[in-house]
Amino acid sequence: MAWGEIISALTEAGLHIEYLKEHHETPYNVLPRLIKTENGLFETKAKLSPLIFEVKVVKL
């Protein structure tokens, strides 16, 4: 499922999106070739795409 479909489904359900944040680090080593950082999180070498998305929505 693409992010556009997810955002559309949330708004069609009557939810208001307060924010969408992208994170290039994750606490989980879920992909091959992730690098562990000094703070204990994992990231890709090139940081080309986010690993985690955070969405806050409220029901209107």
Residue 24 amino acid letter: H
Angle 21-25-28 from CA coordinates, rounded to 5°: 115
Which range marks the domain in which residue 36 is found? 3-59
How many structural domains comprise the chain?
1
Using CA atoms, how far apart are residues 42 and 45, in angstroms rounded to an integer?
Answer: 10
Q: What is the DSSP letter of 6?
A: H
Q: Check whether 2 has a pLDDT greater than 90.
A: no
Q: Strand, coil or helix: what is 16?
A: strand
Confidence of residue 52 (pLDDT cuts 50, 70, 90): very high
Is 40:59 a contact under the CB 8 Å cutoff? no
Give tens-digit pLDDT for 10-42.
999 999 999 999 999 999 999 999 999 999 999
Structural tokens at position 8 = 């559309």
